[in-house]
Amino acid sequence: MRSTFLLISILAAIVCFSAPRADARVYIEVNSPRQQVIIAVSELEGIHGKEVADVISDDLDYTGFFVPIERAAFIEKPEQDFRADNWSVLGAELVVKGSVRKSGDTVSVVITLYDVFDGHKLLKKLYRADENLLRPLAHSISNDIYKAVTGEEGVFKTKIAFVTKGKGEHQLHLMDWDGHREKALGIKSSLIMTPHWSENGRKLLYSSERHRKWSIYLLDFDEGIEHPVFTKEGTSIAGSFFPGDREFVLSSSVNGNPDIYTYDLKKKKLRRVTSLNGIAVSPTVSPDGNHIAFVSNRGGTPQIYTTDKIGYNMTRITYSGNYNTSPAWSPNGDRLAYSGRFEGKNQIFIIKPDGSDLQMLTDKGNNEDPSFSPDGRFIAFTSDRDGNKGIYIMRANGEAQKRITPWAMDAFGPGWSRE
C-alpha cells in the first residue's frame, strides 16, 4: 500500500527552460462574460508526441475557454518551424508546438506556446518525467498554458478520491481529475463514506464502519498509513477540515441525536456546535473557516442551514424542495452546491449562501455528492443516469457533463483535492 501511495504522489519534474514573456497579456478574463480563444495544439515531434498533445488538447477543451482546431486542417507539420501565416489562415490565435525525446526511462518534452497575432513566444519550457508519468507531465503542460493565457492556476494535476462498491464491501480509490490513472488505495470495509481532503493535499479524512462500529480515519499519503482518529458509541460521520488541517467538522450521535461537532486532532478534543430538535448531519466548513453548512430536518424536512463555528447565527438557506442534502462550499465561499429532490429525482443545485440565485445544474437520473474543484470552475458528483452509480464531472454552470469512471465500476462519493 505504501508503494502505491508513493507512486501516486510523484509528480512530473518540471524544469524551466525559459520564462513566459513578462509583458504577456491575459487573453481570457475568466470571470468576465463568456470568452474563448481558438488554439491549435500540434502533434508533438517524436515518441509519444500524439499522446501528450491529445492530453493537452482535451484538458484545455474541457474548460470551455479554449476551442481547439482539428488537426486535419493544419498546414504546418510538427517538424516544421513555426510560421504565423500558416495558422492565421485557420483562425488560430494561439499555437502549441514541441517535441518529445526519450532517454532510458525518462522523457523530455519541450513546449512552445506562440501568439499568432504578433508571432511571439508566450511560453517555452522543458519538462522531464519518468515515462510512466507521461499523463501527469502533459497535465503540467496544460496547467502552464492555462496560466499563461488566463493568469490563473489550472486544475489539471488535481486528484479525485472516491468510493467503490462491490462484492459486499466498499473500497477507497484515487484518480486524476479526468478519470485516468485510477488506483485502489487498499482501504476496504463494509461501509465507507465520502472522503475529504486536507488543505495541503497530503491526507484524506473519511468514516468507515468496521465490525459494526463507526470510526473516523485519517489516511496519510506521506507515511502510507491509516490512522483511526475518532471512535465513540453511535454513528460519527466526518465532514471537511478547517483551514490549517488541525480541526475537522463531523456529525455524531455520541450524545443521542445526530448533531454537529468539531474535533481538534492535536488536543483530541470534541466540541459540540449544534443542539437541535431533529437531526444535524453532512457538515462542511466554509473556505475561511468561519461558517459551517449542514443538513437538518428541524423545520420538518431536510434542508441546508449555515451557522458560525460556535453554533450561533443559524440560518436556513434552502426553501425550495422538501429534501435537500450534501452541501459543498465553493473554494471562494460565494456558492453552495447541494443535492435536492425535484420531480422524484435527486439533482445538483447551486445557490448563494444568502439563499439567492438558485440554479438546477442536472436533469438526468439521480445526482448526489457534489464536490467543487479547487478553482471552483468544475463540480464532481455521483450519478446513476447510465444505469449504475458513477463519478461525473461538469462545469460549475452545468455544462459538459461526462462520466469519468468506467461504466462497470459502481462508484460514488467524490472528493476533489484542494490543490
User: Start-end ranges of CATH 3.40.50.10070 in the chain?
Assistant: 7-150
The predicted pLDDT at position 11 comes to: 42
Q: Where in the chain is the domain with CATH 2.120.10.30?
A: 159-416
Second CATH level (architecture) for the domain 159-416: 6 Propeller (2.120)
* Residue range 91-142, pLDDT digits in tens: 999 999 999 999 999 999 999 999 999 999 999 999 999 999 999 999 999 9
Q: How many whole angstroms separate alpha carbon 274 and alpha carbon 99?
A: 58
Residue spans of beta strands (DSSP E) within 273-312:
280-285, 291-296, 303-308
pLDDT on residue 9? 41
The pLDDT of residue 14 is 43
- CA separation (Å) from 106 to 99, 102, 144, 261, 286? 14, 6, 21, 49, 42
Task: Supply the pLDDT for residue 391.
Answer: 98
| Grid cell for residue 2 | 505504501
Query: For residue 125, how many other CB atoms are within 10 A of its CB?
Result: 22
Look up cell 515518441; give the residue. Answer: 47
Q: pLDDT tens for residues 237-293?
A: 999 999 999 999 999 999 999 999 999 999 999 999 999 889 999 999 999 999 999
Give domain 7-150's CATH superfamily. Answer: TolB, N-terminal domain (3.40.50.10070)
Report residues of the chain scoring pLDDT below 70: 1-26, 30, 32-34
Q: Is the pTM of this model over 0.85?
A: yes
